[in-house]
Amino acid sequence: MIEEIISWLIAAKEKIILAQNEQLMIDEKSNRKDLVTNMDREIQAFLIEKIHSAYPQAKILAEEEGYSDLPDLSGQVFIIDPIDGTLNFVVQGENFCIMLAYYEDGIGQLGFIYDVMRDELYWGGKKIGVYKNDIKLPQPKDLPLEKGLVAINSYLFGHDRFNIHAIGEQSIGVRMCGCAGLELIAMLKGNHIGYISNLSPWDYAAGNVLLDVFGMKYSGFSGDPLTFHGREYYLAATPTAYETILEMLEFE
Amino acid sequence: MIEEIISWLIAAKEKIILAQNEQLMIDEKSNRKDLVTNMDREIQAFLIEKIHSAYPQAKILAEEEGYSDLPDLSGQVFIIDPIDGTLNFVVQGENFCIMLAYYEDGIGQLGFIYDVMRDELYWGGKKIGVYKNDIKLPQPKDLPLEKGLVAINSYLFGHDRFNIHAIGEQSIGVRMCGCAGLELIAMLKGNHIGYISNLSPWDYAAGNVLLDVFGMKYSGFSGDPLTFHGREYYLAATPTAYETILEMLEFE
């Protein structure tokens, strides 16, 4: 299954590279900062077609058009973000990624985060480890909040929701790049100790599988499990930083 | 002079790569988030030695140890940031750069921003253009604030100083990566329309030379020229976004 999925992702990447010479068709979703392009739709349709023909019984949860909710995660489920960081994709032409996760009965088995323009595929799962292309990543250190960089969603940080500003101050620095997949890659590399945001299931499904490999922690802001329904507050961090951040978050 | 400076920068890069297998010596400067390492000092000493032997009459303004102030910019002046983004260098081992600028009587002639780990050297000057390694960069579009991404210093954004929060909201998104040189590269590539921060001369000297080539604007927060003395508030943007941001900034 792994080689098969990787071949789909490489084909998806080639579609994106080819399309760079053509004009993107861009639509606004909920507001002027929430965009979808013809490439988001094409990549999603391409991946769904591949999954349907290889795994006809599998269910699909995906960002665009009619696939964005599932009543439950029973059985085989593929979770897709065809282009994570669509705004970066449109404006920068880089700093976006394709994400795909494979779950069985709600348990993450495989995760793939593909930084397309850098040609860096982060992938893995339990008993496999986490790889960057074909290089196995070492276990990141379990650094505390005050020794590491933390990525924070700009709305939450800018509005100082839930005491997040104090969390940023206690860290050694706040970063934001506008792409959940890249923020999760930064944790897998040990570059960041945490990520605090407001995400949909396809934003965190693949990353969580890879964080699991390293024993990193993630949850909603009350420490509650993620629901995989709609947008929800999301905290991921090293085990030590997770405890500190959860305690500092003023939520409910 | 250009080839000579590039050869120094490549040699400096090699020193950094070699040192990655050794333990860094890290000291705090003003606080726990303001670091200096033995590599900052070594790279600065190396570049100063090269400049002294090639241009013995030139003056030097540089971040570390005894070179951090000049009474004026008359004559030939080299301005050096040996490692810009030292915190990223220490914690991430990437997302930092070496910056070097050459000024004559206060006028920027050449600028070099070297993203060491990606091996991307952005360099150029008036009548030369701006290059990424040996590829000439196209003129970025003169996008307005509401059509572009803006990088904002995390302290200013987090504390909503000078109405900066509203500026971020009016843009299509706020980014922060912890390295002035990389934020300026993002402008040169057309990825970002502006950068708002609090910088020292070695943080902006090289970038300003390259922004000049594209007719981008920069100044202090009142529109006043930068002083090249100590830290000061810094705004750079496309001509159209610059006017909007300057008007929105509530300064003085």
Minimal C-alpha gap between A156 and chain B (Å) = 10
| Chain B residues with beta carbon closer than 8 angstroms to that of A158 | 157-158, 160, 165, 168-169, 174
pLDDT, residue B252, reads: 74
Mean pLDDT, rounded, for B105-125: 98
Among B191, B196, B197, the strongest candidate for a mutation testing the A interface, having the largest count of A CBs within 10 A, is B191
| Chain B residues with beta carbon closer than 8 angstroms to that of A157 | 154, 157-158
Does the beta-carbon distance from B157 to A160 stay under 8 Å? no
Among A150, A192, A182, residue whose Cα is nearest residue A83 = A182
pLDDT digits (tens, 9 = 90+) for B117-164: 999 999 999 899 999 999 999 999 999 999 999 999 999 999 999 999
DSSP for chain A reads -HHHHHHHHHHHHHHHHHHTTSPPPEEESSSTTSEEEHHHHHHHHHHHHHHHHH-TT-EEEESSTT-S--S---SEEEEEEEEE-HHHHHHTS-S-EEEEEEEETTEEEEEEEEETTTTEEEEEETTTEEEETTEEPPPPP---GGGSEEEE-HHHHHTTGGGHHHHHHHSSEEEB-S-HHHHHHHHHTTSEEEEEEEE-HHHHHHHHHHHHHTT-EEE-TTSPPP-SSS-EEEEEE-HHHHHHHHHH----
d(CA A94, CA A139): 27
d(CA B118, CA B95): 8
| Chain B residues with beta carbon closer than 8 angstroms to that of A153 | none
Q: Please, what is the Cα angle at B95 between B91 and B96, to 5 degrees?
A: 90
- B148 vs A91, A165, A173: nearest CB: A91
pLDDT, residue B189, reads: 98
Does the beta-carbon distance from B149 to A189 stay under 8 Å? no
pLDDT digits (tens, 9 = 90+) for B29-80: 889 988 889 999 999 999 999 999 999 999 999 987 789 899 999 999 999 9
State chain A's mean pLDDT as an integer.
96
pLDDT band at B245 (very low <50, low <70, confident <90, very high): very high
d(CA B204, CA B197): 10
User: Taking phi first (over 0 means left), then psi (-120 to 50 degrees means alpha), and beta for anything else, what does residue A229 get?
Assistant: beta
pLDDT, residue B179, reads: 98
Residue owning tokens 């080839």? B3
Q: Judging by beta carbons within 10 Å of its beta carbon (0-12, 13-18, 19+), is residue B104 exposed, middle or buried?
A: middle
pLDDT digits (tens, 9 = 90+) for B215-231: 999 999 999 999 999 99
Nearest CA in chain B to A189: B92
| B95 and B182 Cβ atoms separated by less than 8 Å | yes
**Is the pLDDT at B102 greater than 80, yes or no?**
yes
DSSP for A82-122 reads EEE-HHHHHHTS-S-EEEEEEEETTEEEEEEEEETTTTEEE
Does the beta-carbon distance from A149 to B33 stay under 8 Å? no
With a pLDDT cut of 90, the percent of chain B lying above it is: 89
**Higher-confidence residue: B167 or A22?**
B167
ipTM computed for the complex? 0.94
Residue-range domains of chain B with CATH: 2-136 (3.30.540.10), 145-248 (3.40.190.80)
| B166 and B248 Cβ atoms separated by less than 8 Å | yes
Minimal C-alpha gap between B113 and chain A (Å) = 19
Residue B98: count other Cβ atoms within 10 Å of its Cβ: 25
d(CA A48, CA A58): 10
Does the beta-carbon distance from B191 to A91 stay under 8 Å? yes
Q: Which residues of A fall below an 8 Å CB-CB distance to B?
A: 32-33, 87-88, 91-92, 94-95, 146, 148-149, 154, 157-158, 160, 165, 168-169, 172-178, 186, 189, 191
